[in-house]
């Protein structure tokens, strides 16, 4: 699953690079900028960031501020990590229905050039929130097991 998600991220990045190259070529070699290139680049970048953040980058690789955390003994780290992961999982899970509702509302709007529906464009955000909630919940459960020190 991780490998497939990484392949999707790589394909999104390749498509973004190709899109930008097409735009640069059209603008400077042909002297005729293409309006749709910028819109496609924004959509690809949006999907790339949220897809990769949700399914490719491991929790430990995300940016974190650990100044207080590093000063605590293992039991304190466990308590702080458990409180943080459980509260994040809960807040993300509670917010997900409203996020999905708002994204569904966006079906009425379209992008300016290509007329793509905004609900399809922003669906990646709902995927990100759901995946993050699941990952934080799984991490919280792992901190409750007997081998919790491996999770710190």
Q: Are residue 139 and residue 93 in the same domain, yes or no?
A: yes
Query: Which of 57, 77, 98 is the C-terminal boundary of a domain?
Result: 57
Whole-model pTM: value is 0.85
Q: Are residue 26 and residue 96 in the same domain, yes or no?
A: no
Paired with 19 in beta bridges are: none
Query: Which of 17, 32, 57 is the C-terminal boundary of a domain?
Result: 57
Q: State the average pLDDT over residues 40-65.
A: 89
* Confidence tier at 61 by pLDDT (50, 70, 90): confident
Q: How many CB atoms lie within 10 A of CB 15?
A: 16
Q: Are residue 73 and residue 133 in the same domain, yes or no?
A: yes
Residue 120 sits in which domain range?
A: 64-152
Query: Which of 57, 74, 99 is the C-terminal boundary of a domain?
Result: 57
Overall domain count for the chain: 2
């Amino acid at each position: 699953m991780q490998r497939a998600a990484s392949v999707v991220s790589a394909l999104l990045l390749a498509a973004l690079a190709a899109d930008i190259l097409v735009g640069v070529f059209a603008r400077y070699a042909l002297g005729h900028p293409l309006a749709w290139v910028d819109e496609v680049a924004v959509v690809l970048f949006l999907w790339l960031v949220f897809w990769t953040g949700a399914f490719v980058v491991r929790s430990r690789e995300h940016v974190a501020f650990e100044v207080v955390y590093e000063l605590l003994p293992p039991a304190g780290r466990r308590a702080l990590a458990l409180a943080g992961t459980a509260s994040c999982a809960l807040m993300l899970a509670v917010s997900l229905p409203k996020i999905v509702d708002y994204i569904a509302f966006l079906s009425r709007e379209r992008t300016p050039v290509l007329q793509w529906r905004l609900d399809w464009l922003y669906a990646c955000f709902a995927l990100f929130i759901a995946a993050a909630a699941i990952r934080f919940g799984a991490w919280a459960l792992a901190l409750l097991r007997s081998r919790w020190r491996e999770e710190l």
